[in-house]
């Protein structure tokens, strides 16, 4: 369970890496969820750019290659002005809707206006020149028909609005042709040539709009989990998704970790009723944890489709994996500051008989928390295992005969598949985290996960001080190595003991609240 985007995304809870905007800064529009509307806005921008590109390539590029065609193109404004104006309008639309300051409702309104204006641009380029009507029998269905259908399918809009916009769009053909025809046609012939085919196009577009919009609203309705509504997907990892959510009554935002049955089944994990009961027991155990450095669990449950979900507090900050990758190794005093907070969380969990088993930088979140900076939250207690049940073949999210944890941060006994695990596996993983913070490097690297497991089981680590130019106190160097001992008995025997030994390390400087605030002000201004 993680209250931040998965490590592969390398982003934070409030600043996920999704295209050009976060829907949290946009107003919600009824019907479709904010993230679906945001995706529609992104597709609208792509359509506008595609429109400009195709219009240029079809209407201008060939003529610009040859002198004779270029002279003909620029012989009359009727030949080049409609295309130039249409391209300019589409580029303007793409720029305007890119701005996150424009509300989603306004973006969708701009989209409908653009659909109509762009259709008139196509019709003007095709039919405004009277010379096109020397042989009416050669006139086929305008590109306006295809554009209207494409627009309706790619950019979901309420069916009634899609119908009105479709009628306004296809009206471009009879309006422009009626203006340009040198000789008027009989009304019945004009209707069946230039109106009736486009009415059929509007009917098809309306049916498509109803199907696409209904699917979108069904997806939105399916995002109701208990008292929470899924608003925006922040990321997706190997096991589940993380969503920004809102409570139906409270203003408090939340993060929801959603683990679908399909994800579990594809990974060969237990999806039985027994697994659900174990999930409930473990969620209840996690909910009892009160350390301020353990992510708060607000709620949990099983959705109608069988998906497990955790509702957690939404955090603003960086996981330690991303922090080091972006800003490099941290000073020894800051590493100690982080690690002691991690120990606080693990110590309480151990007192409740829980072993985390997946401590790693991506599951440790440094954030701004109220008035505190560099405040640590330990995440992803989703595969914790009660120490008293260590002999069981598995608990929730545990597969029989599978090794649980992350290969780069896994204890030797865990790598060897031992079932007799206790809190000392978390001590080893914390040592790996300390190594990462101090050096910006993993304790061991390997071409395959199995190679990493072998290293953790057999290879002696290089002292952190030997892999960085930053000063590391000898006592801290030795303490990290003791955490990485192959024999669990040679490690600190508890998180509380590790915290005390970290506090006893003689540091050349202290990591103060002022230093922490200065770092966050410089690198992550509020």
The residue annotated as part of the active site, out of 358, 374, 380, 426, is 358
> Cα torsion at 319, 322, 324, 330 (round to 10°)?
-30
d(CA 502, CA 438): 14
Rounded to 10°, the helix 159-170/172-180 angle is 10
358 catalytically annotated: yes
- The structure tokens listed for 2 are 């993680």
Q: In the 8-state DSSP scheme, what is residue 294?
A: B
360 within 8 A of 433, measured Cβ to Cβ: yes
Nearest to 390 by CA among 492, 271, 488: 488
Q: What is the separation, in whole angstroms, between the first and last Cα of the chain? A: 26
Beta strands in 327-441 (DSSP E): 354-355, 364-369, 372-378, 385-386
Yes or no: say if 332 and 248 are a contact pair by the CB < 8 Å rule: no
Nearest partner of 373 among 211, 490, 511, 510, judged by Cα: 511
For residue 299, list its beta bridge partners: 311
Which of 357, 354, 379, 355 minimizes the C-alpha distance to 366?
A: 379
Give DSSP secondary structure letters for 204-231: HHHHHHHHHHHHHHHHHHTTEETTEEEE
Residues acting as catalytic residues = 358
């Amino acid at each position: 369970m993680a209250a931040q985007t998965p490590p592969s995304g390398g982003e934070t809870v409030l600043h996920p890496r999704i295209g050009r905007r976060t829907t949290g800064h946009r107003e919600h529009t009824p019907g479709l969820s904010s993230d679906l509307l945001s995706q529609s806005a992104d597709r609208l921008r792509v359509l506008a750019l595609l429109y400009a590109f195709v219009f240029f390539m079809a209407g201008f590029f060939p003529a610009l290659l040859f002198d004779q065609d270029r002279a003909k193109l620029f012989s009359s404004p009727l030949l080049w002005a409609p295309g130039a104006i249409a391209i300019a309008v589409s580029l303007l639309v793409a720029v305007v809707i890119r701005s996150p300051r424009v509300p989603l409702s306004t973006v969708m309104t701009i989209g409908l206006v653009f659909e109509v204006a762009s259709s008139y641009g196509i019709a003007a380029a095709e039919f405004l020149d009277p010379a096109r009507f020397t042989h009416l029998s050669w006139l086929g269905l305008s590109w306006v028909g295809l554009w209207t259908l494409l627009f309706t399918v790619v950019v979901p809009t309420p069916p009634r609005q899609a119908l009105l916009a479709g009628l306004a769009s296809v009206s471009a053909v009879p309006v422009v042709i009626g203006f340009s025809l040198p000789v008027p046609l009989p009304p019945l012939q004009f209707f069946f040539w230039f109106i009736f085919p486009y009415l059929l196009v509007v009917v098809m577009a309306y049916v498509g709009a109803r199907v696409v919009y209904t699917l979108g609203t069904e997806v939105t309705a399916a995002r109701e989990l208990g008292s929470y509504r899924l608003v925006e997907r922040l990321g997706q990892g190997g096991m589940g998704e993380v969503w920004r959510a809102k409570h139906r009554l409270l203003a408090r935002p939340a993060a929801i970790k959603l683990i679908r049955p399909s994800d579990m089944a594809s990974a060969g994990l237990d999806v039985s009723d027994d697994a659900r009961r174990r999930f409930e027991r473990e969620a209840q155990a996690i909910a009892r944890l009160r350390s301020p450095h353990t992510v708060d669990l607000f709620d949990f449950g099983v959705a109608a489709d069988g998906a497990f979900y955790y509702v957690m507090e939404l955090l603003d900050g960086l996981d330690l994996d991303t922090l080091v990758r972006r800003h490099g190794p941290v000073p020894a005093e800051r590493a100690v500051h982080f690690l002691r907070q991690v120990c606080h969380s693990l110590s309480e969990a151990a007192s409740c008989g829980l072993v985390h088993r997946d401590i790693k930088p991506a599951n440790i979140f440094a954030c701004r928390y109220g008035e505190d900076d560099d405040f640590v939250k330990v995440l992803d207690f989703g595969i914790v295992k009660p120490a008293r049940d260590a002999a069981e073949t598995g608990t929730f999210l545990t597969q029989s005969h599978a090794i649980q944890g992350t290969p780069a941060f896994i204890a030797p006994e865990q790598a060897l598949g031992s079932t007799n695990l206790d809190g000392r596996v978390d001590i080893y993983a914390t040592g790996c985290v300390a190594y990462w913070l101090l050096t910006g490097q993993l304790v061991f690297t390997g071409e395959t996960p199995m190679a990493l497991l072998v290293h953790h089981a057999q290879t002696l680590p290089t002292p952190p001080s030997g892999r960085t130019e930053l000063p590391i106190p000898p006592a801290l160097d030795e303490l990290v190595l003791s955490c990485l001992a192959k024999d669990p008995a040679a490690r600190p025997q508890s998180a509380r003991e590790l915290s005390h030994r970290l506090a006893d390390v003689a540091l050349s400087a202290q990591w103060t609240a002022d230093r922490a605030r200065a770092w966050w002000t410089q690198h992550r201004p509020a």
